[in-house]
Structure 1
Amino acid sequence: MRLNMASKFVNFGSKLFKSSKNLLSSAYAKRSSSSGSARKWIGARQKLLTFGALTGATGLLMYAMDASVDASSDNVHPAKQLWPHKGLLTAIDKESVRRGYQVYKEVCSSCHSLQYIAYRNLVGVCMTESEAKAEAEGITVHDGPDEDGNYFDRPGKLSDYMPMPYPNEEAGRAANNGAYPPDLSYIVSARKGGEDYIFALLTGYCDPPAGFALRDGLYFNPYFSGGAIAMGQLISNESVTYADADVAPSASQIAKDVTTFLCWTSEPDYDIRKLLVIKVFIISSFLIALTYYIKRLKWSSLKTRKIFYLPEIQENAKKAAEGAKNSK
């Protein structure tokens, strides 16, 4: 299917190029009697239009190939969710990030790592500095060498990154039937569909359809490529106990919180960049308005001036100049 779509659009692009070339050549033939400057202008226009036609055909080809890949994929496309932080003037829910970190620590950290997130990144987002220090001191870091050249174990600090669940990739594969759990630091940005895909994957476990054979140790999830996934369904109702009694720990709420947390780990500066864009827009609007006013003010005298040719004044000035010359 992918090759058929690509071949169709390649043929369409070639036909478009030939038609544009014929059109431009006929237009050029009609103007062959024009001057040399006109011929140069038509030639430049012909090149520009040909380049535009080729660029448009290439864009259509790329769009068709991407659409064919989506249409021929072997997994169900996730439904669009209304995430609060997707608005223009909205930020990531810090309470949801805090609950999502709890879900990650209690459910996901035994298999998945966050090797690009340090404990200092949690300060001001989902916990205070003292809470982050206490959280970091709960791990043991193998550090060194010291002044004597020896390695030692010490409590964690804010500058330390979150620990890996396995010492190496081989140990991770051995503990998960040959499947290595991916790092979750940038998982939302790394997967097509982003937050929608992660949420659908966590809540989309179901029984396999008739005729679908699963190997031992695999589970069926229609949102995962191929349908067979090594990670079992870990999120269910009340699988995590929240400290806030007003938030019900349903499976969808837990999945939403951990997805929001992973969205923040993928872009820790998400709110800062959005705030910067708002500031740039406000300042640019003011500067553009000021620049437009100054332009109108400075150029108004030049745009409204009028030049008159008065032969009488010129003759009088010429006579006056000759008289002054003769008097000398």
Structure 2
Amino acid sequence: MSLLTGVGARPVETPTATPEPSRGRRRWLPYLLLLPGFAWLVLFFVVPTLQLGATSLYDPSGSVTAGYAMTWEFGNYPDALAYAWPQVVRSFAYAGIATVIGIVIGYPLAYAIAQKAGRWKNLLLVCVVAPMFTSFLVRTLAWKTILSDNGWLVHVLREVGLLGADGRLLATPVAVVLGLTYNFLPFLVLPLYASLERLDTRLLEASGDLYASPARTFVKVTLPLSMPGLVAGTLLFFIPAVGDYINAALLGNTNTAMVGNVVNSAFLSRQQPPQGAALSFLLMALILAIVFTYVRRAGTDEVV
């Protein structure tokens, strides 16, 4: 199609419109983009979870060499809980204590980086995540050295009288909680930083103009606005801490074993896969119940 601009002028070609994709193609395009991620989840999460669920219902009298028969043995669940209930309670107690300590340490740190660090903000963020560049196992072994009976920390605590002459930190619940706090602290700080970094400081100034004290400003303004980051951070901290077994194995003793240690030994040492699988499902169910209750009570559906 052409348009004449005057007598003797050359025709000017108008650009032809690119045909739009059909409505059907546009409707299916988002699903096609999601297909690789969905396939990955099915292959590496759904299928192993179903297999684990099947394993939890095997006949517990079987063996690795002779095989296990599918007998739909739902009694594996109460039996597993009766066997490992002290470790289950201990896991949630240790993870809960470590989460509280993490909040006490992580909230002021995240606030300082987000609101007060200025040009040092990026450097401080790198310092928070830098330990994660090292293996989880190496970091825990480093704490084993720090908390050892001949280490400098125990020596200082003995000198100031906080530990007796024979007092120790290693192979105690204190060491396990400290290890959990250190290893999972970045997972709490980063979501908190993301929420606090978006905080509008004019709201804090307005609260001060209305004669609110700093403490009241924090409770009424800062804390509610940072609640999505706090909820996300505590979940990212608490959930892996409950299932952790490395800190208890390296920093604790037989009396500080967590449920992860029992699951690990059931699969690898005692050759009891049905028990280990049942404990894994019980742990997932308990964590899901706590997560849903916590999110509802926190009063926010927005998780950063």
| TM-score using structure 2 length | 0.22
Q: Specify which structure has the bigger relative contact order, considering alpha-carbon pairs within 8 angstroms and separated by 6 or more residues.
A: 2
| TM-score using structure 1 length | 0.21
Q: Answer 1 or 2: which has greater helix percent.
A: 2
Greater gyration radius = 1
